[in-house]
């Protein structure tokens, strides 16, 4: 990745427009930078008062805004591109190539078969990602489908949600799971009394994942994948992004420290230790240890708890009356007693917690547990953030406000799965209030939005567009009353997301003292047609005063 030159002395950048997200002076013409931080934003006459400087006019025809903040993503968005893309929608890879979507099971089998023909090692796994069988209306993808690709090679495909994996017979055999008598809600059984090949949730996926190239620990330690993720960040204007569910083993942390320190790594990564495979005590102890290794471009020390699964995968926990199509109630990923213990210990040690709650029953459990914990040990500014929180109703948002809880909602779901939510998963009424951005704001709940990349593509401007318009892939407007305006949408991908990460004192706006993080746009979001927000061209980014041009990636 090519990085353009920068100066240690004061540099004053001019631009066609600078949107600061600072209400004291929301629009200015110049910004002064020294040592990677912002001296001030204003007019040239104001900024030259800082003393000796150079004027840099490279952005004179561009629009600057605060570096976009992705508050819920995974660096595996970069790693997964070494595998076969199997998603329904077209997708752009880190190098700018567009991969067409897979529309049928037969097309999926052919894409995997073509990749299989190119395999050189007979003993290597064949791995895919992004599968979305909810679009294959006739049935789910089963092991027999993947056996058509090859019977003697382990094959696995991660679903778009990241909560389900489809595997072939060979993979099940290698994991000693190709047998009858398995009694686990995450392992559906077929009419023949054997697993169908769909593995739901971490307990079911982990034993098979190691055989099909989807070992999460190895993906977390993937250096080329982290670099690829950095390139994606520049393409989408992101200067701060999360890796929101990592085991963070020592080797991975050392790799991330080394790579993020490099001059040409273009983003700040906030990596959270996921609650998996350890006791609550060991989880909090690990988070505290990680906190001591934090740096400007690698922030460590927070915790992620995954409470339930995926709505479109029918593994999220929904309150009565459950799923619209009568599917079973979903999966719990954490026991209530363990959730209580994690929150107790985390708040006691001032460790921030982010909790994945797709279903409203999962959201209710977290709020109930937090209320109990806070009643015994009140904690200021714990800033617990509910991730996804897609089915929360107004009463739940009122409780969040009282408990000091923020949300990071998922409006991309309306575009990618809104039609399916309306017709299959939660039904028309609940689909129209999913990801209730307007209700969150009306109740004073701190709000961010996210892509959950690789679940949906990285891209904050697209996220903001989704929150503003709530348009599905078929063109339906799903829940007009929950649309938000442009200013609020832009805040959710800058200051709102920064607040959810406890970084709003450093990033999220262009004002004196903050990091010199900017997104460089071809057009002004305040001037384009609101429907064109997602299509604004991104020239590149400035991160900590370092300039990155998309054309030089």
Beta partners for 308? 332
Q: What confidence category does residue 233 fall into, taking pLDDT thresholds of 50, 70 and 90?
A: very high
Determine the Cα–Cα distance for residues 188 and 358; give it in Å rounded to an integer.
21
* 3 state SS of 403: helix
Beta partners for 385? 354, 406
Distance in Å from the first CA to the final CA of the chain: 5
218-507 CATH fold: TIM Barrel (3.20.20)
| 132-181 pLDDT tens trace | 999 987 789 999 999 999 999 999 999 999 999 999 999 999 999 999 99
Are the beta carbons of 492 and 428 closer than 8 angstroms? no
Which pLDDT score is estimated for 2? Answer: 46
Q: Which residues of 515-538 are buried (b: 16+ CB within 10 A; e: fewer)?
A: bbbbbbbebebbeeeeeebbebeb
Residue with tokens 């200015």: 28
Which pLDDT score is estimated for 173? Answer: 95
Q: What is the DSSP letter of 59?
A: T
Which pLDDT score is estimated for 139? Answer: 84
Residue with tokens 């690709």: 149
| 436-458 pLDDT tens trace | 999 999 999 999 999 999 999 99
Determine the Cα–Cα distance for residues 409 and 382; give it in Å rounded to an integer.
19
Mean pLDDT of 316-321: 97
Determine the Cα–Cα distance for residues 236 and 233; give it in Å rounded to an integer.
5
Q: What confidence category does residue 218 fall into, taking pLDDT thresholds of 50, 70 and 90?
A: low
| 248-282 pLDDT tens trace | 999 999 999 999 999 999 999 999 999 999 999 99
97 CB-near residues (< 8 Å, 6+ apart): none
Are the beta carbons of 153 and 170 closer than 8 angstroms? yes
Architecture of the domain delimited by 84-212: Roll (3.10)
Closest CA to 294 of 246, 343, 261: 261
Domain ranges within the chain, ordered by starting residue: 1-66+508-553, 84-212, 218-507
CATH code for the part of the protein at 1-66+508-553: 2.30.40.10
Beta partners for 98? 92
């Amino acid at each position: 990745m090519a990085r353009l030159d920068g100066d240690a002395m004061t540099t004053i950048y001019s631009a066609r427009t600078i949107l600061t997200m600072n209400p004291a002076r929301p629009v200015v013409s110049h910004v002064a930078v020294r040592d990677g931080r912002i001296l001030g934003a204003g007019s040239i006459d104001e900024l030259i008062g800082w003393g000796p400087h150079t004027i840099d006019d490279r952005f004179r025809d561009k629009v600057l805004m605060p570096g976009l903040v992705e508050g819920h993503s995974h660096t595996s968005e970069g790693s997964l591109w070494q595998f076969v893309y199997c998603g329904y929608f077209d997708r752009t890879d880190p190098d700018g190539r567009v991969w067409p979507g897979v529309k049928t099971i037969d097309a999926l089998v052919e894409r995997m078969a073509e990749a299989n023909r190119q395999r050189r090692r007979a003993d290597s796994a064949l791995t895919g990602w992004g599968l979305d069988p909810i679009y294959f209306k006739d049935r789910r993808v089963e092991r027999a489908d993947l056996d058509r690709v090859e019977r003697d090679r382990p094959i696995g495909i991660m679903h778009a949600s990241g909560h389900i994996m489809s595997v072939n017979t060979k993979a099940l055999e290698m994991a000693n799971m190709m047998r009858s008598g398995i009694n686990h809600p995450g392992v559906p059984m077929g009419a023949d009394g054997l697993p169908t090949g769909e593995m739901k949730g971490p307990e079911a996926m982990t034993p098979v994942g190691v055989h099909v190239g989807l070992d999460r620990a190895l993906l977390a330690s993937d250096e080329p994948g982290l670099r690829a993720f950095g390139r994606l960040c520049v393409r989408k204007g992101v200067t701060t992004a999360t890796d929101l569910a990592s085991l963070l083993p020592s080797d991975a942390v050392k790799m991330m420290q080394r790579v993020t320190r490099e001059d040409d790594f273009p983003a700040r990564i906030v990596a959270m230790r996921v609650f998996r495979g350890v006791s609550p005590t060991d989880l909090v102890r690990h988070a505290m240890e990680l906190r001591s290794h934090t740096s400007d471009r690698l922030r460590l020390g927070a915790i992620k708890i995954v409470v339930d699964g995926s709505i479109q995968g029918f593994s999220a926990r929904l309150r009565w009356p459950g799923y619209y199509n009568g599917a079973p109630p979903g999966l719990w990923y954490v026991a209530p007693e363990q959730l209580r213990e994690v929150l107790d210990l985390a708040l006691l040690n001032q460790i921030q917690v982010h909790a994945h709650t797709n279903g409203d029953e999962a959201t209710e459990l977290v709020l109930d547990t937090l209320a109990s914990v806070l009643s015994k040990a009140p904690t200021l500014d714990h800033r617990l953030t509910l991730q996804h929180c897609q089915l929360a109703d107004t009463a739940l948002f009122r409780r969040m406000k009282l408990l000091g809880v923020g949300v990071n909602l998922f409006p991309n779901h309306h575009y990618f799965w809104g039609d399916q939510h309306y017709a299959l998963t939660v039904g028309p009424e609940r689909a129209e209030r999913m990801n209730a951005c307007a209700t969150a704001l009306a109740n004073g709940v701190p709000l961010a939005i996210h892509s959950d990349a690789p679940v949906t593509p990285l891209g904050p401007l697209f996220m903001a567009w989704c929150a503003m318009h709530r348009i599905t892939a078929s063109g339906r407007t799903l829940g007009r009353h929950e649309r938000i305006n442009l200013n609020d949408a832009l805040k959710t991908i800058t200051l709102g997301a920064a607040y959810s990460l406890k970084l709003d004192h450093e990033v999220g706006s262009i004002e004196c003292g903050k990091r010199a993080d900017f997104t460089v746009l071809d057009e002004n979001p305040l001037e384009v047609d609101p429907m064109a927000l997602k299509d604004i061209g991104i020239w590149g980014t400035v991160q900590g005063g370092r300039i990155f041009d998309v054309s030089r990636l």
